[in-house]
Copies of this chain bind each other. A is one copy, B any other.
Amino acid sequence: MTPTITAFERSPDGGKGLARDTRVRWALEEVGQPYAVRLVSFQAMKQPAHLALHPFGQIPTYQEGDLALFETGSIVLHIAGRHAGLLPGDADARARAISWMFAAVNTVEPPILELVTARIVESDKPWTKERLPLVMDRIRDRVKQLSARLGDADWLDGAFSAGDLMMVSVLLRLRASGILDEFPNLSAYVARGEARPAYKRAFDAQLVVNASKHPTG
């Protein structure tokens, strides 16, 4: 059965792949599972029909027969559980890969979300200019530990896994800040993720949607 995901009708980033549907598209591309996309507007996302699918009024959602899921991490994990290619077969290695999925969303992403908040939501506040360096230093503290763990390995724990898919996706949000460039091994790690054919297909698919809505950008 072909699953259907939701994505922004018009992504806030204009198609740079930072919207979370890219993570789900990437997972589906890695395992070779075709999928359908239903685009939703910001208005529709806050209406009861969408809130029934996603209690927090966001994208992506994932529908497959009677199953409806929300939260990128759980959707990627669900896809990884149904198909080969995103999690190791060995039970212990699988559990470790899932640790990296949670590390991406619960340890590395929160300080990055603070930067997004500072830059966008609080951009007009009098304290933002002075506060931004503190926010960025907190990100550096976390990312430095990740860099130390990765070392010169290609991926976080053996072969590419859903843990890498989630971590690369989270780190991509840092590129505009310049912080990623301060850690050459992480920069190369992210580039390795972006170079995967499945990532490219996912990125291109979301770009087509958004480029058509942003003819000038």
Give bound CA distance, A114 to B121, whole Å: 13
Interface SS majority for chain A? helix
Within 8 A of B (CB), among A194-211: none
Give bound CA distance, A102 to B99, whole Å: 12
Q: Which residues of B contact A74 (CB under 8 A)?
A: 95, 98-99, 101-103
Give bound CA distance, A111 to B139, whole Å: 16
Q: Which residues of B contact A122 (CB under 8 A)?
A: 131, 134
Question: Is the CB–CB distance between A69 and B95 below 8 Å?
Answer: yes
Of B71, B127, B134, B138, the contact of A102 (CB 8 Å cutoff): B71
Question: Is the CB–CB distance between B106 and A70 below 8 Å?
Answer: no
Give bound CA distance, A117 to B69, whole Å: 31
Of B66, B92, B127, B148, the contact of A126 (CB 8 Å cutoff): B127
Q: Which residues of B contact A121 (CB under 8 A)?
A: 134, 138
Closest chain B CB from A138 CB (angstroms)? 8
Give bound CA distance, A13 to B125, whole Å: 31
Give bound CA distance, A117 to B137, whole Å: 13
Whether a CB of chain B sits under 8 angstroms from the CB of A32 is: no
